[in-house]
Structure 1
Amino acid sequence: MSDTPSQSPDQRYTTAEIVSPLLERRDPSAPERLATSVQHRFEEMRRNFAIRRGNQPTVLSFTGYGTTSWIRVLSRVVMAPDEAFENGRRLAKVVEDGVRGWRNFVSPPVPYAEVEVHVGEQTFTVRADRGGVVDARVEVAMEPGWQTIQLAAADGEVSTSDIFIVRDDVTTGLVSDIDDTVVVTALPRPLLAAWNSFVLDEHARTPTPGMAVLLHRVLESSPRSPVIYLSTGAWNVAQTLSRFLSRNLYPFGPLLLTAWGPTEDRWFRSGMEHKVTQLERLAQDFPHMKWLLVGDDGQHDPEIYADFARRHPDKVRAIVIRQLTPSEALLAGGRASDTRDTTPGVPWCYGPDGAALAGQLEELGLVDPETASETPLTWPRGGKGDTSEGSVHAEQARG
């Protein structure tokens, strides 16, 4: 990054002056609401403070997906110290790997940052949104399986991103919710959501019994199928969730999270709208795919999945709902209404854990009762000199 002009202590720094190669001026004709205006000025203050501390733009790489003709690139650009991240991932030291959740919200985002995407010998330029999140489709040919691309912002360090390229003949995919489906969070209750997001040590999160085994058994019956984790959580906690999924041996796959903060017309983003939008995009991205939709009955998953199945009955193989325990349902504010009768021709599975759900999927012929779970392919954890089991298996998956 270019040197910062000298300024007197009382002179205000502006982000446009210091990181101008990254920023695009906002459209002055765009509507500005109180919520977004407050957030914009707060984030600008945080960026200015980060610049004075010598922080630089850093691309946090997330796992993407695509086909043999295009890829979906997912990442986030933030201001951070050089030593805080390596290869776009927080250094996997013992202390830093067990950080409290609030640290995920410390690094200020860089709005409208330009990010270079390097795919082999080709280079593409994409742009982040106002929250620093990159969600871009790049038209490029790639071989099926796990592939690697590089991402870079301005003079920042190059980050590596894993991309799962789906074979053209694959017709089954798996979409799984996270909160109360693969991890017990009781997220809908505001105070508990704040506790889980900002306070709780990530090692203290509790995996849902049997769900990792269930997802692996589905993949054993449908090899080369994509696994997509769809959650209302913020992109700020993407790497925390990745480490949780790795430690608990969940299948390797992209996360589809949401941006943190208000929109132009509301103070808080709609989690339901996010899930509906992402499911519709998956239906468009993979027009020949039939999805196994996995969720729980403590939020709106049954309603969202049933609505998707009514609109796209030919794109749903089955809906799998994990039933919360009475105490979990109480914390979640109750159970979702039963919508099983509203989707003729689409099978449903209801059960309290992965084992019960696996038995029902066996009856539907979606899980082979004769298959035994092999060594799973988990999430790479990143970090210097990392030889963790997840990273080794991820490398084996590329072969």
Structure 2
Amino acid sequence: MSRKPPHALVRLAFQVEHHVESWSWRVRRKLRLARPPRILPYRGYGTPGKSVIKARVLEDRKVRPPWRRYTLLGSAIASWKRYMTVEIPHARVVARWGDRTWEGTTDEEGFLELWVEPPAGVRSGWHEVELELVSPSPKGVPRVRAPVLVAGSEAEVGVISDIDDTVIVTHVTNFLKRTWTLFLTEHRTRLPFEGVDAFYEALRQGRTGSAGNPIFYVSSSPWNLYEHLDEFLGLHRIPAGPLLLRDWGLSRTGFAPGGGHGHKLEKIRGLMETLAPLPFLLIGDSGQEDAEHYRTIVNEFPGRIRCVYIRNVWHRPGRERELERIAEEIRAGGSQMLTVDDTVTAARHAASQGWIRWQEVAEVQAHQRQDTEARGLLDALDREPSA
């Protein structure tokens, strides 16, 4: 007989942890032992009628920038600081976008999610919103700029992509390899899947070459890795897009990570509703539950999903049969699912459907070849015996 989760106990534990952390920060602040707050801006998104501004207010742990981390120990310390965050709840933040101003308050985990109506006449593309801390301790806390992606009428299709083992090789199904990847490697020494940068850029440009199709990245990685992942995308020239991650640790609903990857469904539903009636392409991998989640989205938003692309990565025996069944159900739902071994295969299919230009397939193929050579060189260097 199954037992219901102890929601009351979870809520009590969350409240105790929250009050202890808040009390600890206030005490250290009065004793002048706490570092000043910091506003960490996230990439927001929306439409000319409704957009979301996202950020988090944390105690500044002074993580060294990538160019000042030289050793494995330095990388480990930086990762530890990212996870050992001290959130600032109930902080008041002012947002300024053009001639409009709003004020928002962070939640118990320090997150700011402010839904606003953009200034009149806002055009599609990236915009910057200035964020300023009002309380607590605004003195010495610099203003920051939060990017917001507005999807306008020029967009032909939206793209929602997983990150782990879809864009970046993370071995998400192997706990030890994933731990090494997250804690002890830098984005500078990691490579994306071959040709991903050119393929996603082709999807962003769309059929006309100037569509500006919005791209979103949904992952089970924690918000603590936001800067790490954002730096990785920029370094490898993968089109920028809002990163929708998950909160790790104790929350009102339980302890994360745990309970699968259902949070991805919530994020994707939010995107589908905010950007309606824009159609979408969904990209994931075979190692986790991406195909199952995308099947659910196909059924919940009939006619909105043009295609589901699933990258073949290592998976458990029998997974192929499951994917075949899911593909049939997705076709029955009015969409299609393509399982691919490489990025060029997906690009050729997208070109045949009119979602990207045919000339971009050659670009994807060239980038895939270059990335393969680069990966081979790194593997060879790793195999060289030390002097």
Q: TM-score, length-normalised on structure 1?
A: 0.76
- In structure 1, distance between residues paired with 2:247 and 2:253: 15
**Match among 187, 193, 196 for residue 208 of structure 1:** 193
Q: Which amino acid aligns with 2:315?
A: A
Q: Are 2:172 and 1:187 equivalent residues in the alignment?
A: yes
- The match for 1:277 is 266
Which sections of structure 1, spanning at least 5 residues, go unmatched? 1-29, 375-399
C-alpha contact 2:10 2:254 (8 A) present in aligned 1 = no
Distance 1:178 1:132, change over 3 A: same
Residue of structure 1 equivalent to 2:288: 299
Write out per-residue CA displacement over residues 156-201 of structure 1, whole angstroms, 9 at most, x where no aligned residue.
2101111111113424101110000000112244444433333333
How far does residue 70 in structure 1 lie from its aligned partner after superposition?
2.3
Q: Distance in 2 between matches of 1:243 and 1:314?
A: 35
Deviations 1:278-302 (A, max 9, x none): 1111111011110010110111100
Q: 1:46 Cα deviation (Å)?
A: 6.1
CA distance in 2, matches of 1:198, 1:334: 29
Question: For 2:239 and 2:273, how far apart are their aligned partners in 1?
Answer: 24
For residue 99 of structure 1, what is the aligned residue in structure 2? 75
The answer for the alignment partner of 1:383 in structure 2 is none
Residues in 1 aligned to 2:182 and 2:254: alpha-carbon distance in whole angstroms: 21
Alignment of 1:1-399 (within 5 A): 33=11, 35-37=13-15, 39-40=17-18, 43-44=21-22, 47=25, 51=29, 52-80=32-60, 84=62, 91=65, 93-95=67-69, 99-100=75-76, 101-141=79-119, 142-154=122-134, 155=138, 156-222=141-207, 223-269=211-257, 270=259, 272-324=261-313, 328-329=314-315, 337-338=322-323, 339-343=326-330, 344=332, 345-371=334-360, 373=363
Contact residue 112 and residue 128 of structure 1 kept, 8 A? yes
Asked whether the 8 Å contact 1:47–1:109 carries over to 2, the reply is no
Question: Secondary structure at the residue paired with 1:197?
Answer: helix
TM-score, with length taken from structure 2: 0.78
How many residues are treated as equivalent by the alignment?
335
* Contact 1:31–1:264 (CA under 8 A) maintained in structure 2: no
Which residue is equivalent to 1:396?
none
1:254-289 CA distance string (max 9 Å, x none): 111111212324222545221111111111101111
Task: Give the drift of 1:352.
Answer: 1.6
In 2, Cα distance between equivalents of 1:49 and 1:93: 34
Instruction: For 2:22 and 2:205, locate their aligned partners in 1 and report how far apart those are by CA, in whole Å.
Output: 48
Q: Distance in 1 between matches of 2:320 and 2:226?
A: 27
Alpha carbons of structure 1 residues 265 and 120: separation in structure 2 relative to 1, 3 Å: closer
Distance 1:335 1:61, change over 3 A: farther
Amino acid at match of 1:178: I
Structure 2 unaligned residues grouped into runs of 5+: 1-7, 365-387
**Bigger proportion of residues as helix:** 2
307-316 vs 193-202, which moves further: 193-202
Asked whether the 8 Å contact 1:303–1:337 carries over to 2, the reply is no
1:63 aligned counterpart, secondary structure: strand
1:307 shift after superposition: 0.9
Tell me if structure 1 keeps the 8 A contact 2:75–2:183. no
Q: Percent identity?
A: 26
User: Aligned partners of 1:198 and 1:134: how far apart in 2?
Assistant: 26
SS in 2 for 1:314: coil
**Given residue 56 of structure 1, which amino acid in structure 2 is its aligned partner?**
P
Structure 1 stretches of 4+ moved >6 Å: 332-336
Q: How far off its partner does 1:145 sit? A: 1.8
3-state secondary structure, aligned to 1:125: strand
Q: Which amino acid aligns with 2:68?
A: V
